[in-house]
Amino acid sequence: MKIDLIDAVRAFECLCALSLLIQCAEFWRLTAAQEGAGVWLWNIQRDDLKNAPGWLRSTCDHLFRPQTQRLHLGFRILLAVTLFWGSNLFSSTILFLSTIIVLIRWRGTFNGGSDFMTIVALTGLLIGHLASIWWPPALAWRAGLWYVTIHTLTSYFISGAIKLGHVHWRSGRALTVFLDTAIYGPLPASSLWQQPAITRLAAWSFILWECAAPLVLLGPVWAIGFCMIAAVFHGLVFWYFGLNRFFWAWAVSFPALIFCASDLRLGEI
C-alpha cells in the first residue's frame, strides 16, 4: 500500500485546521476571564516579566489587552480556516508565532500535550514550506511529515517507557488514582476501575501499545492499526478527563504517521 504525498499533506492540513479552530473556540470562551474581574488577568501575570526589558513588558502589555486579544483570536481563526484549502508560508509562519504568543499569555502550556503537538504540527508545516525554497517540494514535505512523525513516535514511546518504570502504573493503581479525580470521580466502590485485575490489564495495554510505537514504521497497515488504537485511547482520555483538544491535537499527526510508514516500508525489506 502506497500513500500519496499530496493526499497526506492535505489530510494533515485539514486536521490541523480543525484542531486549531477547537483551541480558538476554547480561548474565545475564556476571554471574559481575562478581563474585568476575571481570574486570569494580565495585570497579575505580567509580574513574571518584572525583570524583563522594558520594551518586552510594553509589547506584552499591548498584545494582551482584551481588545488586542480578541483581534488576535479572530485573525487566528481566519488563518486556521484557510488551512482547509491549503497552507502557505505566510499562514504557517503567523500561526506558529501566534501559538508562541498564546503560550506566553498562559505562562507556558495551556493544555500540556495538546500545545506541544500543536507546535510540532505547525513546525512541520513550516519545514514543508521553508524547505521548498531550496529543495524539491516533494522532498521538503517529506521532511516536514517526518519531523512530525519522529516527534509523535518519540512522545508515545517515552510515555510508555516512563509508565513501565513506575510500579504504580505496572500494578494499575495509578490508573485508578487518575480516574478517581477525573470527571466521573470519585469512583464508587462497585466501579470496574476499582478492581485491580481490570486496571492492571488496562494499564499494561496502554504501556505495551505506547512502547510499541516504533513498530508503526513497519508499514502503512501497522500505522493505520496504531492510529485506530490511538483514536480510541485519546477518545477515552476525552471521555474521562474532558480533554477534547487533546484528541484532535494528536489526530493531526495520523496522516504523517501513515505516510511515513508507507514511505519507509521497513516491513518489505
Q: Which of 17-21, 25-29, 200-204 is predicted least confidently?
A: 25-29
CA distance 119 to 112: 11
Question: Length of the chain in residues, anyone?
Answer: 269
pLDDT of residue 221: 93
Phi, psi for residue 38 in degrees, rounded to 5 = -70, 170
With both helix axes pointing from N to C terminus, report the angle between 66-82 and 89-105 in degrees, rounded to the nearest 10.
140
Are 210 and 159 in contact, with CB atoms under 8 Å apart? yes
For the cut 60, the answer to whether the pLDDT of residue 21 exceeds it is: yes
CA distance 36 to 105: 16
For the cut 90, the answer to whether the pLDDT of residue 185 exceeds it is: no
Percent of the chain exceeding pLDDT 70 equals: 97
In this structure, what DSSP letter does residue 188 have? P
Residue 269's pLDDT band (cuts 50, 70, 90): low
Residue 129's pLDDT band (cuts 50, 70, 90): very high
**Burial degree of 15 (CB within 10 A; 0-12, 13-18, 19+):** buried
Q: Which of 46-55, 97-106, 114-123, 173-182 is predicted least confidently?
A: 46-55
pLDDT of residue 50: 82
pLDDT tens across 79-113, in order? 999 999 999 999 999 999 999 998 888 877 677 78
- Checking 163-167 for CB contacts under 8 A at 24+ apart, the result is 163/203, 163/206, 163/207, 163/210, 164/207, 164/211
The pTM of this model reads 0.93
In this structure, what DSSP letter does residue 193 have? G
If one compares 92 and 47, the residue with the highest pLDDT of the two is: 92
CA distance 111 to 109: 6
pLDDT of residue 267: 56
b/e code 184-220 from CB counts within 10 Å (16+ = b): eeebeeebebeeeeebbebbbebbebbbebebbbbbb
pLDDT of residue 268: 61
Residue 3's pLDDT band (cuts 50, 70, 90): confident
Q: Tell me whether the omega of the peptide bond preceding residue 255 falls within 30 degrees of 0, making it cis.
A: no
Please, where are the H alpha helices in 166-253? 167-170, 173-180, 196-211, 220-241, 244-251
